[in-house]
Amino acid sequence: MHSFSDQAHTQTARLREAIRYLPFNRELAAGTLAPERFRRYIVQDALYLVQFSRALAIAAAKAPDAATVEVFARSAQAAVAVERVLHERYLAEFGIDPGALAETEPAPDCLAYTSFLLATAHQEPWEVLVAALLPCFRVYWEVGCQIAKEAGLDNPYRAWIDTYADPQFGEAVEVVTAIANKAAEGVTAALQTRMLAAFVRATQYEWLFWDGAYQGRGWPTGTGNSR
């Protein structure tokens, strides 16, 4: 019998492949990604990680046992740490005041993704929340590892690459994957379907987030002809 993660990965295989070959990630690997595109990404990712850490904290609060509480509590703390260390480096490099982030508006893709995660955290069973959180771990690990194989040591985005290709991050991904697999065991077929749907939706949001940063997708301004 296939595990939940096996089913989820099979169903999203083409989408995750598309994520790995998005222009943003291909140019990041080559070191040719325009600084302005990376700047947009890193600002939005900083906003995203704050809300992602909140969803992880809720997963910790809902977890069925102490060991799982600890896993998600550590993950929430790690998300905040990554935001503080990695992003502060790049925010400083791009001349962005970290304090100004509080006044920065999330882009449509960022707001949609974080709203989905927080709504899932508050309204869905714990098992569905775990499934919704897993793609952020898995996709970043896959993208990080692929880019690390291709990027030169002088790649200007090397610090970002090393963060998500780090074996310690890979170990964290495997732990959360194992938790998701265990969560899916013994639940109803209907709940498993909801878990799978949450995993797929979060993976779709991962694609949108990367693509939105590359395209500079923002909010409509209301300009143009009215009807």
Q: List C-alpha distances in Å: 8 to 61, 169, 193.
A: 25, 20, 10
* pLDDT recorded at residue 90: 74
* pLDDT recorded at residue 81: 73
* pLDDT recorded at residue 122: 97
Structure-block tokens of residue 67: 């060991």
Instruction: State pTM to two decimals.
Output: 0.92
* pLDDT recorded at residue 226: 47
Q: Reduced to 3 DSSP states, what percent helix, strand and coil does the chain have, rounded to the nearest 5? A: 80, 0, 20
Q: Are 21 and 210 in contact (CB under 8 A)?
A: no
Residue type, 69: V
- Between helix 23-30 and helix 126-150 the angle, nearest 10°, is 40
CA 126, CA 180: separation in Å to the nearest integer? 10
CA 170, CA 151: separation in Å to the nearest integer? 18
* pLDDT recorded at residue 227: 47
Express each pLDDT in 165-206 by its tens digit: 999 889 989 999 999 999 999 899 999 999 999 999 999 999
pLDDT by residue for the chain (227 residues), tens only, comes to 689 999 999 999 999 999 999 999 999 999 999 999 998 998 899 899 889 999 999 999 999 999 999 999 988 887 777 666 766 777 777 777 767 777 889 999 999 999 999 999 999 999 999 999 999 999 999 999 999 999 999 999 988 899 899 998 899 899 999 999 999 998 999 999 999 999 999 999 999 999 999 999 999 987 655 44
Which CATH architecture fits 4-215? Up-down Bundle (1.20)
Angle at 75 between CA 110 and CA 5, to 5 degrees: 80
**What are the domain boundaries of the chain?**
4-215
Q: List C-alpha distances in Å: 69 to 126, 130, 134.
A: 12, 12, 16
Instruction: Please give the DSSP secondary-structure letter assigned to residue 118.
Output: H
- Between helix 4-11 and helix 167-184 the angle, nearest 10°, is 110
Provide the 3-class DSSP secondary structure of residue 206. Answer: helix
* pLDDT recorded at residue 89: 76
* Residue 32 CA neighbour count, 13 Å, CB half: 5
| Positive or negative torsion for Cα 24, 79, 89, 101 | positive
